[in-house]
Amino acid sequence: MEDYEKMLTDIKKQEEMLQFTEFTSETALQIGIKLIEKAKKENLFLAIDITKSGHQLFHYAFEGTTPDNDAWIIRKNRVVNRFWTSSLYIGTKLKLIDKTIDQKYFISDMEYSAHGGAFPIIIKNVGVVGTITSSGAEQIIEHNLIVEVLTEFLNK
């Protein structure tokens, strides 16, 4: 059995560490390209999306992905934008208390997906301004891919 409490602590530490001083369209492009390169090296076929304040700055879909991956991205992004934390954090929190998103928060899992793969874009001293999201692999793999790229990008 997984240690959900430790996972929650680790995810919070990642979010505290992986913060930006600014986030521009150029930032989104650089991160998006790094995500594509890393996904290729790991033989992952993903849809990748970077959105800031409701404005899609970057989107790429590998061959083999479908519009369903885009629907997952939208649903994961809604989780981040509602709770200001990663979709994996909310999903893990729900597993810990053995509830669905509908049971705990009275919102539909048809519109909100508490599965890993959406990470908040956090500006220091501002807060969450957007999302970096992937769909097409296991949720832990998606989350870790984003964290690894952000860690390299921010030199953490």
- Model pLDDT for residues 39-90, shown as the tens digit of each residue: 999 999 999 999 999 999 999 999 999 999 999 999 999 999 999 999 999 9
pLDDT at 26 over 70: yes
Q: Could you report how far apart the first and last alpha carbons of the chain are, in Å?
A: 30
Number of folded domains in the chain? 1
- Distance CA(136)–CA(154), nearest Å, equals 25
- Distance CA(86)–CA(144), nearest Å, equals 12
Residue range(s) defining the domain that contains residue 20? 4-153
Across the beta sheet with 118-123, the strand order is: 55-61, 47-52, 127-135, 118-123
Find the CATH number of the domain harbouring 144: 3.30.450.150
- Distance CA(47)–CA(7), nearest Å, equals 25
